[in-house]
Amino acid sequence: MTGSFEKAFQVQVKNPLNRAREAVFVLVPESELRRNQNAFNAQAFAVFDGATEIPSQYNGKDAENTGIALVLDQMAAGETKTLTIRYNSSGAIANNYPKRTQAELSKKVGGRWENRKYIGGDFQNIDSLRVPSELTDHSYYLRYEGPGWESDKVGYRFYLDWRNAVDAFGKTTPEMVLQKVGLDGYDSYHKQQDWGMDVLKVGKALGVGSLAIFDQGKAVRVEKTDSTYSKIPQNGPVYSSIQTDYYGWQLAGLKLNVQSQLSIHAGTRLTHHQLRITDGTPQNIATGLTKDKNANMVSDKGEAGKRFGYLATYGAQSLNTPPDNIGIAVLFDPADFIAFSDQDPLSHVVQLKPKNGRAHYYFLAAWEKEGIGIKTEQEFKDYLARTAEELANPVQVNVTR
């Protein structure tokens, strides 16, 4: 136990599926905390399942998932768990839980810009960055070229320049690894290291789950903006997130302001991409996957209340020599589905319909060389089917006094 607590309330978490599930993300929303527990103190609390303390954190700076976040490693079929949240009305306590997620952004300091490349200097982690006008691809200014995030299963990054594409890091260990990526030879992660490697070919394609709009037969990434600002709202033991604001995204005669939040929780390969469009109304939000001749593609429109839709590929499409098998996928609410498209020569694409300025989807990568991972195409398809069903049937969270 972290300490003694003077107050408590309970939260019921129900698994609506008639099967067990793993790595269950639970969010007790800020609105519920304030409605039911006016004296709740986010600086001094702990969550218990009976006598067992469950690692948790308070997401106070998150744009989308504010409240108490925790992960239940297992839930049985149809199970309802009653969790107890104990807290003090004042003061603070330190919960030193094992770190199972991470988000970071690292730039060079102490050097100088020269012809859009950054010369000299040393990397320093930062909380936020207004992207400098000099930044382009291979400027050697940002460590692994943009923000990174990871769970104990997989890591990701996206290029914080005109490319704005998402790439994946396969991991051979559940330990956090991003803090040492890109320090040895800058792009040494393109070769397998003791922790894993950059496993995906991206180029001008969508990589895995990159943000785009489908226009004139192709997916157009966020290439031209007035300015871009990125920050790390949460870097916690069970949940981490990255928020990026694109001001004046220009394409197809539109000029959009878009806020992107990428988040991951412990025990999962899934990244949740949540979007707010505050200025402008695009006809679609598109995302998708890099096309690779060595990978088989499958797709499903999904069915409301039963399973999310998905677009996925599996095959020997890694950067390794010879290539390893990787499964990559994007998953979406079937209510948002517009169409799949194979017109783009570089990417498999799905178009989604924004509603009231909002859109969201999930994406994932699964590398065959994970320590305990998915080794075959059939295992990947089975995992994808389970994940699609779980996303359509989230656990039900109810705060009680």
- Intervals of the chain under pLDDT 50: 1-2
The alpha carbon of residue 27 and the mean position of all alpha carbons in its chain are separated, in whole angstroms, by 16
Phi and psi of 130, rounded to 5°? -85, 115
Residue 287 carries which DSSP code?
E
Rounded distance between C-alpha atoms, residue 101 and residue 153, angstroms? 9
Q: Which domains does the chain have, with CATH numbers?
A: 7-97 (2.60.40.1180), 102-392 (2.70.98)
Strand pairing report for 309-316 and 325-332: antiparallel
What one-character-per-residue DSSP string does 217-274 give? TEEEES---SEEEEEEEEE-SSEEEEEEEEEEEEETTEEEEEEEEEEEETT---EEEE
pTM: 0.97
Strand, helix or coil for residue 390: helix
pLDDT averaged over every residue in the chain = 95
Amino acid at residue number 285: I
Q: Which candidate, 33, 101, 114, places its Cα nearest to that of 67?
A: 33
Amino acid at residue number 194: D
Rounded distance between C-alpha atoms, residue 196 and residue 180, angstroms? 11
Position 186 scores a pLDDT of: 63
Q: How confident is the model over 233-277, as pLDDT tens digits?
A: 999 999 999 999 999 999 989 999 999 999 999 999 999 999 999
Amino acid at residue number 121: G
Q: How many H-runs (helices) and E-runs (strands) does the chain carry?
A: 2, 31
45, 1 Cβ separation under 8 angstroms: no
Please list the residues that pair with 351 across neighbouring strands: 286, 339
Q: Which candidate, 158, 154, 162, places its Cα nearest to that of 145?
A: 158
Instruction: Give the tokens for residue 350.
Output: 């799905």
Instruction: Give the tokens for residue 32.
Output: 């519920």
Position 1 scores a pLDDT of: 45
Strand, helix or coil for residue 151: strand
Enumerate residues 6+ apart whose C-beta is below 8 A from 150: 101, 102, 103, 156, 169, 171, 176, 177, 178, 240, 264
